Chain A
Amino acid sequence: MRRFALALLILAALLAGLVATQRNTAPRADFTYLEVQDIHTLDPQRMSYQQDMRLAYALFEGLVRWDTQSEDFHVVPALAKSWETSQDRTTYTFHLRAEARWSNNDPVRASDFLYAWRRAMTPDTAADYSALFFRIKGAEEFFRWRTEQLAAYAARPDSEKSREAAATLSREADEQFRKLVALEAPDDHTLIVTLVRPTAYFLDLCAFASFLPVHPANVERFVTADPRTGARRQDSGWTRPDHLITNGPYILRDWKFKRELLLERSTTYTGPATPRSNLIRMLPIGEPNTAVLAYATGSADWISDVNVDYIPELIEQTKRGERTDFHAFNSFGTYFWNFNCAERFPDGSPNPLHDPRVRRAFALAIKKSDLTDLVRRRGESPRDTLIPPGSIAGYHSPKGLPYDPARAKRELADAGWTLHDGAAPTDSSGREFPVVTMLVPGTPAHHVDTALTLGRMWEETLGVRTRVEVKDTKSIKADLTRRSYMTSRAIWFGDYGDPVSFLDINRSTDGNNDRAFNSPRYDSLLDQAEREPDPAARLKLLEEAERILVEEEVPLIPLYAMMEFQFFPKNVTGLSSHPRRVQYLWQLGINRDSPESREPPAQAGGQAPPPSTNDNAALLLPLPLGEGRGEGFTLLGLSSTPTIPLFFFPERIP
């Protein structure tokens, strides 16, 4: 017994020691927010997730930034105090603020941008957004040159590969970059960029995270030449709190993986972005329900993305006036349904969806308002176009296809299918229309609901048989890449304020063309738009391209506007309601003088924003919703239990 007690005592001492190492000594933050998605990287050139970019905009300052509180989301000066454009609108000269400093007190130089942008243009960095830089003259050529140079190195015999040889390669690439790419820094405060052709949205791109500068010495300390591939190898570690050098309004004070991240107001930053909060704490909570409970018990001031299955009930509560802190916003994205447009499936069997008439028939058979109002009940508005209408100044969206069951049947008949009552359509040789499979992920559960609804609509109008296939996202991606599917759910968010951000995913050669869509007419319209110097004429060409996409060829059916749901009490200020959904953390704060005041979120300047006239701006609740109650929610995708939490947790404990 004594031995047993001794063992327990040792265990207890061990535990106490371990617990002591886990103590959190950080002071209380001025503003705490929750992310349900994890942070993947703080490297601006490599990031592609919204939550990563949110942090990047607080840590780094680019040439320009967006006015997120404005209706047209225009670009305003940030690190560049001014800029000029050449007559032919291809050369931009940026004048940088001379007093700008990195957090280690080094001056921010124009060459820092050259370094950061070269990283993004180098295949070694594996930047998801390297193609955005191909607007810059010589960038694409440099990217290709480096790819070929590395391929040639890889083909060398092992005896000719070494760290020194790889380093030489890297130096050659630097030389080539200077020769090929039209980026110049004549002095520390001037940056000259020449574009391939006039690009209306280039300044918008400059505000994007991939275009943020990095501190060259900070990054370079963690770069090694890889003797095996010849590539420059970026080791993780430069973004850690003890190494990361930033030029934005905040520094990275602490970052514990999947636990918390702390931003502290920078003492070296003197720019126009004045932080509202001195210390910002980010808590990653991956389980959506836990995130809501954490907010409800006062652990956070803002949930950036509420993704629970009881959103319809939250909307109901808001409509009844029982809740004032739940908010819904239209976002710069569209939920749509993919068709596999390939002529044949990988197994060689013919694909009936290759025929645009069949695809149109499927699109015309869907009553989107029933899907959004009766099934989803999340207040989403139905969409007939891929690009959110009204989101891009000067762009007039096409009409898209309406709900028209009679025409749907005609289109299918025109494609050579004979419709039958109570049986699947047959072709001229009597072969039945194959079972239409619908590929969806299992969580969140509403994707499955959407698929079941579409399937039912297709069955009722066209008589086809349907089957929902639930798979994990990796398998879905693999099936899409192999074209081994019939239809699937899809979502696309625009990266920059231009139609091309949405339209280029349907180019026959684009890596994001999951639909195997191949329309020479569509491709050539995009090419023409690319070459068109007149902005208005360019937009006309893009309008025509989208019209072909959603009215004629229909490789996808736009279904509804993507929405972002958030929790925040009335006293949180600085949140943008613009559909681009960019939130600058330095603008966020809590109005402590009037807790839970009834005023709407104020602008950066302190005044209330003007009432919105833009259709896509804040979608204020109450929303038009259908009848019906939720059946249950899925926790962890394991089981369905009644919606317990919702009805019992208080609005918010102050």
Chain B
Amino acid sequence: MIALILRRLIQAPLILLAVYTITFALAWALPGSAIIRDEGRRPPEAVLAAMESRYNLDSAPTFYVQYLARATGVKWLIEQAKGADGHVPDRVFDLGPSLRYEDWSVNDLLAGTLPVSLILGFSAVAIALFLGLAAGILGSIKPRSLLDAATLALALIGVSLPSFVIGTVLLLVFPVWLGWGRVGSWGSPTDLILPALTLALPFAAYIARLTRLGMIEALNSDYARTARAKGVPQRTIVLTHALKNAFLPVLSYLGPATSFAVTGSFVVESVFNVPGLGRHFVSAVQNKDLFVIMGVTLVFSAILVTFNLAVDILYRWVDPRIE
């Protein structure tokens, strides 16, 4: 276990460096200028040149190295070691300014939006887990029954309907027609329900399918039959004996699902006006806001690497047989 964690911790910086390099190459190659606005009055050439040199946008290698040094805290360490006053960056991990939203640094943006994305993502996964497991178990108890067909149909809808349709319909039904909740605000726990539900549905559907298959297999297995023969109540067999084994594939799916729910909720964030990170990332690419693209990518990939590690550890904890 320790060896696994150590190995992963050594791998992580290399993975992050690779992600950083590829993202940098792609972002640098995006068409258009990072500074010139798409619309509105264009400032004098001297101003544009000054901005390019200020942000190192006139030289790709300089930008690559300088940004990496600042974002990873290397620059901070070097300046700290030199001991020169006033040269030490304010932040250990300085992800740079936003070129588009000039009053905010990428650190500010992340501080404001990452918690929102985390809440939304984790809530969605929690809802997905609850709905998915419940639907999967119900469906597996009597396969090919009406209940099974109903949960399967729901799962199919959850997988195939895009979030912007589900989101818009939910918005219309609850806040607009029934007057439950608010539209476009964030700040009370109830604001979380609809976006989390919308984000959860595709995951719930997939979890339901995984659970149902695993449960049917487990309930037909020898140990389940033995337990039944020994007079163990059906409830205990389903919830304790079968579910424990059926849950393993769900657990391995939870890693990527959680990281996707946390980082990939652009559509849900737009429809419900959730002030999360996903929207920044997409709009940063559209605006060629290099600092935001690089900063958010680094943080996103760090999250992904962490979740994958967490799931690996959890996996071994649940099933010690797995090497």
Contact = CB atoms under 8 A, between A and B. Distances in A.
Partners in one complex: yes
A299 interface: yes
Nearest to A132: B41
A287 B123 CA distance: 23
Contact of B104 (A23, A257, A474, A495): A257
B286 interface: yes
Interface in B36-65: 36-48, 50-51, 53-54
A294 B240 CA distance: 46
Contacts of A123: 44, 46-47, 50
B109 A290 contact: no
A258 B179 CA distance: 25
A286 B54 contact: no
Interface stretch (A401-409, A533-541, A631-639): A631-639
Contact of A495 (B33, B41, B113): B41
B231 interface: no
A636 B278 CA distance: 14
Interface in B107-132: 108-109, 112-113, 115-116, 118-119, 122-123, 126, 129
B31 A475 contact: yes
Interface stretch (A96-104, A413-421, A641-649): A641-649
A226 B54 contact: yes
Interface string A246-257: 000000000011
A256 B183 contact: no
Contacts of B113: 257-258
Contacts of B67: none
Contacts, number: 228
Interface string A480-514: 01000000000100010000000000000001100
B54 A229 contact: yes
A290 B103 contact: no
Nearest to B165: A641
B197 to A, nearest CB: 14
Interface residues of B, number: 81
A478 interface: yes
A231 B38 contact: no
A618 interface: no
A209 to B, nearest CB: 13
A293 B168 CA distance: 10
Given A41-B102, A123-B44, A293-B175, A22 B186 contact: yes
A611 to B, nearest CB: 34
Contacts of B165: 641
A258 B185 CA distance: 11
Interface in A125-182: 126-131, 143-144, 147, 150, 154, 163
A320 interface: no
Nearest to B105: A236
B104 A163 contact: no
B52 to A, nearest CB: 10
B297 interface: no
Nearest to B186: A259
Given A42-B103, A127-B47, A291 B112 contact: no
Contact of A124 (B50, B183, B272, B317): B50
A41 B275 CA distance: 18
A645 B168 contact: yes
A257 B275 contact: yes
Nearest to B196: A15
B179 A294 contact: no
B247 to A, nearest CB: 7
A297 B179 contact: yes
Contact of A638 (B108, B164, B243): B164
Nearest to B171: A293
A290 B100 contact: no
A486 B85 CA distance: 55
Interface in B124-179: 126, 129, 162, 164-165, 168-169, 171-172, 175-177, 179
Given A21-B115, A46-B102, A644 B279 contact: no
Given A48-B40, A477-B38, A126 B184 contact: no
Nearest to B287: A474
B273 to A, nearest CB: 5
A143 B188 contact: no
A126 B288 CA distance: 18
Given A128-B43, A147-B46, A40 B100 contact: yes
25 contacts: A22-B186, A22-B187, A26-B187, A39-B101, A43-B102, A48-B40, A126-B43, A126-B51, A128-B42, A130-B43, A131-B44, A143-B44, A237-B105, A240-B103, A257-B113, A259-B275, A293-B176, A293-B183, A297-B175, A297-B179, A473-B38, A512-B42, A636-B271, A638-B267, A653-B179
9 smallest A-B Cβ distances: which pairs?
A24-B187, A474-B32, A294-B184, A473-B38, A511-B42, A294-B183, A259-B275, A478-B32, A147-B46
